[in-house]
Amino acid sequence: MQLRNKQIRRKLWELDKFIFDDYRRQSEAQKVKPDTTEYEREFKKRIKMAIKILKPITDEATNGLRICRGKGNKSCLKPNEKLRLILIHQLFGKSNRMMSNALLLFSLMTGVDVSYKTIERLYSDEEVEIALFNLLVIMLKKREISKINACGDATGYSLIISKHYASEVQKLKEKAKEQEPKKKKAFVYKFALMDISTRMYICFGTSLISEAKAFAKAMQMLKELEIKVESIMLDRYYSFPSYVKLFKDSKIYIIPRKNSKLGHGDEWLETMKNFVLDTMNYLKEYFQRVNSENGFAQDKKLFGWKVNQKIEERIDTVLFCRLIWHDLINLFRS
């Protein structure tokens, strides 16, 4: 069947007028009310298991890891101690000074007794960055993840205590997607790609400028991991042929923009055909994007919506640590 531009426009009109409302009603009717008590019990069980495995899995991630350094003071911490310390710092959410004082309670058992400046420097430490990546790879291998049906989305974290990302985006709408480079940055944008079956993050990217730049960094990380994407669901921010072409060997599910047209290659044509000719099944796949929203909600409930760092590389490390905790907790999800 030959597809025409007017068919895309007609289908988008039907979506807004009829289909979205019908689909939402059907979804609500089929939705089972969650047992919050059971959810909290299961979540606590998984986080206890994540903490229990923290020592052996961080030892595995740093086994044989050595960085050649020039002249200067040698770190008092081994790579595995650095990795555990920075992850614990993020989990407890304490300031660097508070965390260094709290470590005194554990120093007799661990032999770790460091200053708040040492903790701060961990967020710019090359060994920590490599160890975090190694740890991510190990967890993905433990879940035998080599190909995925993925959902991807972006969220933001506040860098200024007086501004809340969600409320500011609501006020500014699309203007909040981009920040003027010369202004003081209020938010950091994070894009993360999730494997739907395991609810584990595969890769991520951050940017102080835009969601698009965060997405580009995530795609570079995905390339390094060499994981095959069989299908992917993205929101309307990515409803352009250029994004569809990035996933030539994948099925991609997006809702086209109102001015979308044909004539942008085979991948875009195939996506538009699936959208127009098999709309309800297409929407069923597309709305699996809700897993990304649920993942961000879980992360912000655990860690909050702020990042207490100002240097870009340290902001990136904070959000990498939070991603690691998310995957550690979901490592034991059945």
- Whether residue 199 lies inside any domain: the answer is yes
Domain count of the fold of the chain:
1
Q: Which residue has the higher pLDDT, 40 or 63?
A: 63
Cβ pair 236, 257 in contact under 8 A: yes
For tokens 């960094």, name the residue: 217
Bridge partners of 229? 148
- Whether residue 34 lies inside any domain: the answer is no
Give just the sign of the alpha carbon dihedral 180, 215, 330, 34.
positive
Q: Which residue has the higher pLDDT, 155 or 119?
A: 155
For tokens 């650095």, name the residue: 82
Q: Per-residue pLDDT averaged across 120-131, rounded?
A: 92
pTM of the model: 0.84
- Whether residue 125 lies inside any domain: the answer is yes
- Whether residue 71 lies inside any domain: the answer is no
Cβ pair 126, 67 in contact under 8 A: yes
- Whether residue 180 lies inside any domain: the answer is yes
User: pLDDT tens across 217-276, in order?
Assistant: 999 999 999 899 999 999 989 989 999 999 988 999 998 888 778 778 888 889 989 988
Q: Per-residue pLDDT averaged across 121-140, rounded?
A: 95
The model's confidence at residue 130, banded by pLDDT at 50, 70 and 90, is very high
Domain around 170: 5-29+39-65+77-330
Residues 6 or more apart from 23 whose CB is under 8 A from it? 280, 283, 287
Q: For position 109, what pLDDT does the model report?
A: 46
- Whether residue 101 lies inside any domain: the answer is yes
- Whether residue 100 lies inside any domain: the answer is yes
User: pLDDT tens across 59-111, in order?
Assistant: 999 998 877 665 656 677 889 989 998 998 888 776 555 555 566 555 544 56
